[in-house]
Amino acid sequence: MTEYRNFINGQFVLSESKETVPNVNPANLNDVIAEVRLSTRDEAKAAIEAAQAAFEGWRSTPAPARGRIVAKAAQLMDAAREELAALLTREEGKTLGESRGELARSINVVEFCAAEGRRQNGETIASELPNNFAYTIKQPHGVVACITPWNFPVAIPVWKIAPALVAGNTVVFKPATLTPGTASRIVELFNEAGLPPGVLNMVIGSGSVVGDEITNHPYVRAISFTGSNEVGLKMYEQAARRGIKVQSEMGGKNPVVILEDADMDLAVESTVQGAFGSTGQRCTATSRAIVVNEVADEFVKRLVARTEKLIIGDGSDSKTNVGPAVDKHQFETVLKYLNIGREDGAEMVFGGRASEPQGVKLAGIKRLDDPALQHGYYLEPTVFDRVTPDMRIAQEEIFGPVLSVMRARDFDEALHWANNVQFGLSSSIFSNDPNRIFRFIDKIETGMTHVNSATTGGEAHIPFGGIKGSGLGEREQGSTALDFYQELKVVYMDYTGQKRTTNIY
């Protein structure tokens, strides 16, 4: 059986830890991909020390040369696109089409960041003093930690690693333990592109050991994290004690608002894609559909009819629309919320069934009939209707294929409910009324919003991120991709050659 290795100082090295977890295909629990050793604190230290030792050489490498290496990594990813997509589907569970889409986005991100090596610009600023030249330059922090989740195991790592490297930092990468194979292949490709030893390091392990060491080690000068609110806020608190920079992308409870003048076919199709694509396991997934009463019955009727057509199954099958939950923990989390929704009084109008693989008990949940689904963590896409703002399924992130339909009196109430959560990542509105569309854009409390399209999606050259409980620190990707990974230095060049008789300070 394969054993994944850490990557430290330019070499793949097997962890000495005896603590292991299996890497299992969530679509077929009999398919054990590999054994994962959970690295020790000393191994995390070794990776950090390797990154620290490599920093001066890497920061001295001209930014365009750093960009060329990152561009080469994008070319290698493109050549390995199908291999990576198949591995991603087997390891994480999403459909092969979704994996290919993630790879396309990832390659675009790396290409964009590589080009930023030739755009490391500062600005010149007019001084109030004569014979004084003021300008700015950008410099790297040093060792940067990139801590990533399992749900986009190619895209999220590369949209952190690529800008960090182009900016001149060295990197310690801690991937999710559920997707170590994908992470290892990405690191291989960056290494093959020509990175010097120690510039990129990877340590596979738990958050309580490896993550804690990374957060508290004095050599680590910045941390970019994507994951849960609980972990993100705890890490932010720890890092704040050391006065280092943190970029934290966390959860979402993303609303789609549907008004009476909406294109109903478009609204239904986009909502289904947003809610059930990637099995609902993405931070931008559509979690709430807030529909004005006038069209609510029609919307729910069409929504259920469209959801019924989705095919559940192994993501490697081209006919599959909805793959499995990633692991037992996430599977049981969604099961818990299905029961919570019913107990709180929401009306389950479709779905609510699940497979029953070995080791799982479906307390209060109906079993999916298909025998082919009993060896994986499969959940039927579920629609709750008549959900009220005080219900837990309207407030808490579920991270699964569950959609809550909320019925609002009018636009103002729909907007109020859309904002009435702790999160603020993404949103969308379906309407043809420019007045209300622009009011929505002005008032919605999310970092990203879409008009007449799903809450999901983004482009490599456009910033990504949320507000409120969804995000802390600078935005990722696009024109802001390198902002977090650099410090701005202001330079005053006095060329009078003598003591000044006036001082503006």
Catalytic, out of 49, 116, 213, 283: 283
Please, are residues 174 and 146 in contact by the beta-carbon 8 Å criterion?
Answer: yes
Please, are residues 430 and 259 in contact by the beta-carbon 8 Å criterion?
Answer: yes
Please, are residues 493 and 135 in contact by the beta-carbon 8 Å criterion?
Answer: yes
**Which of these, 335, 329, 428, lies nearest to 380 by C-alpha position?**
335
Determine how many CB atoms are found less than 10 A away from the CB of residue 192.
Answer: 12
Report how far residue 458's alpha carbon sits from residue 453's, in angstroms, rounded to the nearest whole number: 11
Query: How is 204-224 classified by DSSP, letter by letter?
Result: ---IIIIIHHHHH-TTEEEEE
Number of H helices, E strands in the chain: 14, 25
Concerning whether 113 is annotated as a catalytic residue, the answer is no
Report how far residue 452's alpha carbon sits from residue 466's, in angstroms, rounded to the nearest whole number: 20
Please, are residues 381 and 351 in contact by the beta-carbon 8 Å criterion?
Answer: yes
Residue whose token pair is 């001082």: 503
Q: Look up residue 407 and give its amino acid.
A: R
Helix 81-92 vs helix 180-192: crossing angle, to nearest 10:
160
Q: Look up residue 298 and give its amino acid.
A: E
Reading the block at residue 152, the tokens are 């986009």
246 sits in which H/E element? strand 245-249
Identify the DSSP state of 29: T
Identify the DSSP state of 83: H
Catalytic, out of 249, 380, 397, 476: 249
**Which of these, 111, 102, 121, lies nearest to 69 by C-alpha position?**
111
CA 29 to chain centre: 25
- What residues are labeled active site? 249, 283
